[in-house]
Chains A and B, each alone.
Chain A
Amino acid sequence: MSEAVTVEIGEYKYGFAFPDRSVFKTRKGLDEEIVRTISRMKNEPEWMLQYRLRGLEAFRRKPMPNWGADLSEINFDEIYYYAKPTEDRKGRWEELPEEIRKTYDRIGIPEAERKFLAGVGAQYDSEIVYHNIRSDLERKGVVFCAPEDALRDHPELVRKYFGTVIPFNDNKFAALNTAVWSGGSFIYVPKGVRVEIPLQAYFRINLESFGQFERTLIIADEGSFVHYIEGCTAPIYSRNSLHSAVVEILALKGARVRYTTIQNWSNNVYNLVTKRAVAYEEAVVEWVDGNIGSKRTMKYPAVYLLGQKAHGEVLSIAFAGKGQEQDTGGKIVHAASDTSSVITSKSISKDGGIASYRGLIKVYPQLTGIKSHVVCDALLLDPQSKTNTYPYMEIESEDVSMEHEARVSRISEEQLFYLRSRGLSESEASLMIVNGFLDPLVKQLPLEYAVELNRLIELEMEGSVG
């Protein structure tokens, strides 16, 4: 007979909030005046204000999605859409307000920075407050800054690409982001430049009922390489928070971009993100997407393969615990010949959590040499948990080799028995099996993220330490 594996969710390590020290905050709710205020506060050119307003109009017009996770409790009128926490950008770590430094001390930025990271754009309530670019990157011509700065310092680049991958009315939440975006990262890597060290950013929601709308744009010019890591935490609140980011990536000919996310929002956050990349000739884009936290996540990183011999990959890990719904997956569109794609999705559901995979492989007509492989594995840890798999394959060319498999399983009696007979406790054994299940994906992460992910899983699986 099987016993349900009784494990407890560990104390949420980052569960704390600082008193709100925002210098400026718009009133609750969203209207044209608020959008104009945001644009004015950022000193934006007219075209960006107009683009925001188009986003606002599209946001009002578009309906909520009638599929995916349950979003019925979001109240758009109760959210603060913009807050500016400090006077201006801080160039040095020591100059940050103490509270913010304390926050990042706990997450571990100083150690990380001390180690060997290139630069960190940190976000506190919508504005970049701490920012540092390493000098050798500057010398190579790599741009890594806030999108607001890019708009000011590289307007032609921004204007050329902004909104071309995810337009203002792509979906309701991309429209919202278009209207109220603030912060995020802008990265430009010149031709042939390889950024060997991962670029990172940490995000943080502090203000209660505050929405986070970062906008990231990454342009990897021909033959370049960059790896960007996004990881975030948020304190626990009584009211719901909305995180609706937009990430656009362009990998030009021969370029390679890897974008890694470890999402660990606290369990009251709605995480509705639109992420999309275009890969031109011989380019490679890899999304590594880890979803551990949030109340509801809907996120389907996409790669549009527009040039021959391009390759797209999505590696997705989702952990759905009590009260959580992780609705994630990946989308690959083959619009050129000799392109290939791989989607690997692993999910774990526990304590009634729901993990769903939603994916699309689309192959346009008159293409040749297309290869695609999708594997979805789901692990259910107890009888109350659920998993769903909704893969869509639309194949309109003949010279295609498309394979898709999905498996649902649980921790087997035999595995548990074996490990326990080796002296492990039931929860240790379960953890080991879960780690084994995730291992192929975790191997893809840079070491410190692998460590953070393992720690997070451990917290989710075991009782609190000490």
Chain B
Amino acid sequence: MKEWVAVARVEDVQKLLRVEYGSQEVVLFRLHDGIYALRDTCSHEYARLSEGEVWDDRVYCPKHGSSFDIRTGEVSGLPAVLPVERIPVKIKGGEVYVYIENW
């Protein structure tokens, strides 16, 4: 069951921020045009994207450099070939909400 869950305050999200809700792991990004979210697991070898680097609106996995478009989760560079799940975000009352499983 998915639902909107508040995971952080807007000001807490600087460049990137990892948040956990139950067993869900999400990474929030602040780009010039808003806050975006992706599943915090690289589709290549399961490392945490939140421990990687952000350049030019892309996130680079710390393990082998797989890169993903932050807005869509699509692969922008190998060795990953599968996209990372894009998580819907909404801002309400200074809180960042993400649409994820509630467990």
Q: Which residues of A contact B (CB under 8 A)?
A: 54, 58, 163-171, 276, 278, 304, 306, 333, 335, 364
B79 & A304 in contact (Cβ 8 Å cutoff): yes
A168 & B65 in contact (Cβ 8 Å cutoff): yes
B65 & A304 in contact (Cβ 8 Å cutoff): no
B65 & A169 in contact (Cβ 8 Å cutoff): yes
B82 & A167 in contact (Cβ 8 Å cutoff): no
B62 & A167 in contact (Cβ 8 Å cutoff): no
Q: Which residues of A contact B64 (CB under 8 A)?
A: 167, 169-171
Main secondary structure of the interface of B (DSSP, over half): loop
Q: Which residues of B contact A335 (CB under 8 A)?
A: 81-82
B81 & A164 in contact (Cβ 8 Å cutoff): no
Q: Which residues of B contact A171 (CB under 8 A)?
A: 64
Interface membership of B57, Cβ < 8 A: no
Give the shortest distance, in Å, between A274 (CB) and chain B (any CB).
11
A134 to B78, CA, bound (A): 34
Q: Which residues of B contact A (CB under 8 A)?
A: 53, 55, 60, 62-67, 76-79, 81-82
A164 & B77 in contact (Cβ 8 Å cutoff): yes
Beyond the given A167-B66, A335-B81, A335-B82, please list 14 additional residue pairs across the A-B interface where CB-CB is below 8 A.
Answer: A164-B67, A164-B76, A164-B77, A167-B64, A167-B67, A167-B79, A168-B60, A169-B60, A276-B78, A276-B79, A304-B79, A333-B79, A333-B81, A364-B82
Which of B55, B67, B78 has the most chain A CB atoms closer than 10 A to its own CB? B78
Query: Which of A54, A170, A276 contacts B53, CB < 8 Å?
Result: A54
A166 & B78 in contact (Cβ 8 Å cutoff): yes
B53 & A164 in contact (Cβ 8 Å cutoff): no
Per CB-CB distance, the 5 closest pairs between chain A and chain B, nearest first, are A167-B65, A335-B81, A169-B65, A164-B77, A170-B65
Q: How many A-B Cβ pairs are below 8 Å?
A: 43
A163 to B56, CA, bound (A): 14
Closest residue of chain B to A178 (Cβ to Cβ) is B65
Q: List 17 A-B contacts (CB under 8 A).
A: A54-B55, A163-B77, A164-B76, A164-B77, A165-B78, A167-B60, A167-B64, A167-B67, A167-B77, A167-B79, A170-B64, A170-B65, A170-B79, A171-B64, A278-B78, A333-B79, A364-B82
Closest residue of chain A to B65 (Cβ to Cβ) is A167
Closest residue of chain A to B67 (Cβ to Cβ) is A167
A170 to B63, CA, bound (A): 7
Q: Which residues of B contact A168 (CB under 8 A)?
A: 60, 65
Give the shortest distance, in Å, between A218 (CB) and chain B (any CB).
15
Closest residue of chain B to A248 (Cβ to Cβ) is B78
Closest residue of chain A to B53 (Cβ to Cβ) is A54
Q: Which residues of B contact A306 (CB under 8 A)?
A: 81
Q: Which residues of A contact B78 (CB under 8 A)?
A: 164-167, 276, 278, 304
Q: Which residues of B contact A163 (CB under 8 A)?
A: 77
A335 to B63, CA, bound (A): 20
A54 to B66, CA, bound (A): 14
A333 to B78, CA, bound (A): 11
